[in-house]
Structure 1
Amino acid sequence: MFEYLLNRKLKIVVVGDVFVSPETMAEAVKQSPLEAGEIVSCFWGKDDKQNFTERQINIERNGPEAESYAEGLDEAIVDADILFTHFSPVPRTLIEKGKSLKAIFTCRGGLEHICIEAASNKNIPVVNVIRNAEPVADFVLGLIIALTRNIAVSHRGLMEGKWMKNFPNSEFTTTLSQLKVGLAGVGNIGIEIALRLKALGVTVIAHDDYISKERLEKNGLSDMMLVSSLEDLFRESDVVSLHLRLTDDNLKMINKKYFSFMKPTAYFINSARGGLVDQEDLIEALKSRSIAGAALDVFDSEPLSSESELLSLDNVILTPHIAGQTVDAIPKAPFMLMKEVGKIINNGVTDRIVNYENILNDRLK
C-alpha cells in the first residue's frame, strides 16, 4: 500500500493553523520516508486561539462544509499528490478539485473536518493519528479522584476561608478500588483509561457497539466486562465516563433518561464532546442530587457562559476543555502521523487508514 508514493518526487500541501504551524508540518514531512519535490504551505484561520475554538466546534457539529478552508488551497490542490492538514476543512468540493490527489493526512484523531465519503469515492485513503489519548486518560483519572474524594471542592472551600470536613457525599466516600467505573466508548482513550484503572485495582466495565474481543486482548484487557447496553452501563457504574464521538444521531443523547438510571451515589464525567449531553438535564440531576456529582471538561457552548447555572453548584468540577493539552501532545502530532505513514510504507499495515465504509464504526479518539 502507498507504493505509488515511493521513488517519486511529490507535491505535498501542508495546511497549518494557530496550534500546529505549517513549518512544523513541513519539517515532519522532511523527516518522513516521503520524498517531497515541492511543499506548499497554507494557513487556516486567524492567529487567534479563541477564533480557532469557535470554528472547531462548528465543524465538529456540522461537518467540513460548515467553515471555509484555507486560502490558497483551490490553486494548490489541483496538482497535489498529498494534502496534509490539521483542522482546515476538507469538503467534497475541495477533494473533487484534487485531480492528482493520492492521500489525505490529518494529524488529529477526529475526522469531522474531512468529507470521508468523497475521499472514498475517489479511492483516496485518509490517514489520521491519535495524539492525545494518554493526556486525556491521565486527566480523566485525575477527575475521578478529585471528584470522588472532594479534592476540588475542599480546595475551593479553603480558598473561601472554610475548613470543610463534611460533604454531600461524605456518607459514601470510599477508596478508588471500591468503585466500578463504566466507560461509554472504548477507543484509544477508553483503552488508556481502562489500563490505568486496572493497574490500580479498579473494576472497569464498558459499552461499545464496535469494540472487538481481539482488540481488548491485544491491549491486555481481555478480562474487562462489556455490558450489552448503555442503559446497563449507567445503572451498574459508580462512575460513568463518556468517550464517544459526536454525530447527528447522538446529539444530546445523554439526557434525563440516562441520568435517571444512575445511582444517587454515582458520578458522571464528560471529557469527550459537550454536545453529547443535554446540559440542562444534567444540571437538574445535580441540583436534585439524583446523582452524586459530575466533572466536565466540555460544554454544549464554549467558552462556558459566566451566567451558567453550573457555576453555582457545589457537586461539580468544571475545567475549560484542557484534557488533551500537554506541551507535547499537539506539537508532536505531525511527527506521530509521519510515523504511521512510515508503518504503511514499510509494513503495509496500520489501523489509522480510514474510509467511508468504516467511518461510522470508527471509535478511535
Structure 2
Amino acid sequence: MQILVIGDPLLSSQKLAKAVYDVLGKNIKVHCVDWKPASNEEFWYLRSIVEKQGPSVGKPPREIFDFVSEVDMIITQHTPINAQIIDAAKKCKIIGVCRAGVENIDVDAATKRGIAVSRTMGRNAHAVSDYTVGLMLAEMRNIARAHAELKKGNWKKEYTNVSFVGDMYEKTIGLVGFGYIGHLVAKKLSGFDVKILVYDPYAKDDDIKACGGNKVTLEYLCKNSDFISMHARLTDETQGLMGADQFAVMKPTAYIINTARAGLIEEQALIDALQKKKIGGAGIDVYWVEPPAADHPLMSLPNVTITPHLAGSTKDTFNRTPYILLQEIKRAAGQGDLRWFVNSDEVNVILDEFK
C-alpha cells in the first residue's frame, strides 16, 4: 500500500507519516510532501479564500503530482486538493482530511472518481470549547481590556459594561448548534451552575436534556440568553443566522460569542448592534475576511474582545488529529462504518486493504 501525506505549516508531513506508521503499520510506503506558502500571511490568506471559494483557488505544491498517481490514500489537513489532483489519483480510494470541514477538497470530483472523503469530526472540540468559555469570561470580566490598559500604565477598573458586569453563576447560556463542541461547552459550563438553552433543529430533545439543557426556538434563545455562543456549521441554511432581527430582541446586557464561522452572523448587523449598544458585547475569533482590515470597526469598538482565529489552534489538537482520522478509517475497514465519510452514500468504498 502507498499513501501520500501532504503537510502544511501547522501539521508537517513528518508528523502525518509517523501517525500512518503508528496506526496502520510499518509495511506501508509513505510519500511526504509539504505545502509551503511563501509566508505565514500567505498561508492564512490562501486558507481563508479556499474556505470560501473551494480548492480550485488554492495553490497546492506541484510535488503532489510526482506521487499521486501511484497512491491508495491521500492524507492532508489544509492543503487544497482540486479536481486536477483528484483526476491524477488513478489508484486512490480514500482522501482523509485532518479537520472537520472538507472545504479544501473537491468532493464532487472525488465522488465521480469513486474516491471516499473522510473528515475528522470533533478533532478540535476540546480546544474550541475551552476557548469559548475563555472568551465568555474575558468579555464579561474585561480581562483582555484590563490587561491592555495596565500594560499602558493605566489602572483602569471600569469599562463599557460597568453597570452590568456579572458572574457566570446562574446565567443563561444559549448554544446555537449542538454538535461535538456544543456538547462540550455545555459540559464545561455545568460547574458554573448556568442554565443551558439550545437551538439546533437536528438535535434530539433527549440528548439535550441529558446534557442539562432545553431545546428552544432561535427567537426564544435570543430573548432569554445572557450569552449566545455559535457552534453551528456554515451552510446555505445557517448563513446569516444571526442578523438584525435576532440582535433586536437580545438583552442589552447579553454577549454574543463566535468561535465557529463568521458567516453565521451578519457582519453589519453585529457592528450596528455593538456601535449602538443594542447588546452588551461580543467575543469574536472568526472573521468574514481574514485577517480583517486595520480599519475594520471591530478593531476600535470598546465592547468587543477579538482574537486572530485561535480557538482550535493547539499543538495537542494538531498532533492528535491524524491519529483520530486514521483510527477511524481503520475501524471503518473492520466494521463497515462509514459515518465519517462525507460522500459514503455515493461511493462504494473498498477498505479491505486498510484492515
Question: Structure 2-normalised TM-score?
Answer: 0.88
Bigger mean CA offset, 320-329 vs 90-99:
90-99
* Structure 2 CA distance for aligned equivalents of residues 140 and 110 of structure 1: 19
Corresponding residue for residue 102 of structure 2: 111
* Structure 2 CA distance for aligned equivalents of residues 187 and 260 of structure 1: 27
8 Å CA contact retained: 2:226, 2:255: yes
Correspondent of 1:65 among 46, 56, 65: 56
Corresponding residue for residue 205 of structure 1: 197
Corresponding residue for residue 168 of structure 1: 160
Shift of 1:324: 1.5
Q: 3-state SS of the aligned residue for 1:137?
A: helix
* Structure 2 CA distance for aligned equivalents of residues 122 and 213 of structure 1: 39
- Map residues 257-336 of structure 1 onto 2, 5 A cutoff: 257-336=245-324
Shift of 1:269: 0.8
* Structure 1 CA distance for aligned equivalents of residues 158 and 75 of structure 2: 53
Identity percentage of aligned residues:
33
Aligned AA for 2:231? H
Aligned AA for 1:63? G
8 Å CA contact retained: 1:11, 1:36: no
Aligned AA for 2:318? I
* Structure 2 CA distance for aligned equivalents of residues 236 and 315 of structure 1: 20
Aligned AA for 2:184? E
* Structure 1 CA distance for aligned equivalents of residues 133 and 245 of structure 2: 26
- Map residues 75-94 of structure 1 onto 2, 5 A cutoff: 75-94=66-85
Aligned-CA RMSD value: 2.5
Q: 3-state SS of the aligned residue for 2:50?
A: helix
8 Å CA contact retained: 2:170, 2:192: no
Q: How many residues align?
A: 345
Q: 3-state SS of the aligned residue for 2:69?
A: coil
* Structure 1 CA distance for aligned equivalents of residues 280 and 169 of structure 2: 18
* Structure 2 CA distance for aligned equivalents of residues 124 and 210 of structure 1: 28
Structure 2: runs of 5 or more not aligned: 347-355
* Structure 2 CA distance for aligned equivalents of residues 37 and 311 of structure 1: 50
8 Å CA contact retained: 2:232, 2:238: no
Aligned AA for 2:72? D
Question: Structure 1-normalised TM-score?
Answer: 0.85
* Structure 1 CA distance for aligned equivalents of residues 207 and 76 of structure 2: 28
8 Å CA contact retained: 1:20, 1:330: yes
Aligned AA for 1:290? K
Aligned AA for 2:103? E
Deviations 1:106-135 (A, max 9, x none): 111111111223333444322222321111
Aligned AA for 1:91? N
Corresponding residue for residue 13 of structure 1: 4
Aligned AA for 1:178? E
* Structure 1 CA distance for aligned equivalents of residues 237 and 58 of structure 2: 21
Aligned AA for 1:99? K
* Structure 2 CA distance for aligned equivalents of residues 110 and 36 of structure 1: 30
Q: 3-state SS of the aligned residue for 2:188?
A: helix
* Structure 2 CA distance for aligned equivalents of residues 93 and 311 of structure 1: 40
Deviations 1:150-199 (A, max 9, x none): 32333333334444444433333332122111111112111111111123
8 Å CA contact retained: 1:25, 1:334: yes
- Map residues 212-291 of structure 1 onto 2, 5 A cutoff: 212-213=204-205, 216=208, 220-221=210-211, 223-228=212-217, 230-248=218-236, 250-291=238-279
Q: 3-state SS of the aligned residue for 2:55?
A: coil
Q: 3-state SS of the aligned residue for 1:113?
A: coil
Deviations 1:275-320 (A, max 9, x none): 3333332122111110000111112222232222222222111111
Aligned AA for 1:14? V
Shift of 1:75: 4.5
8 Å CA contact retained: 1:169, 1:292: yes
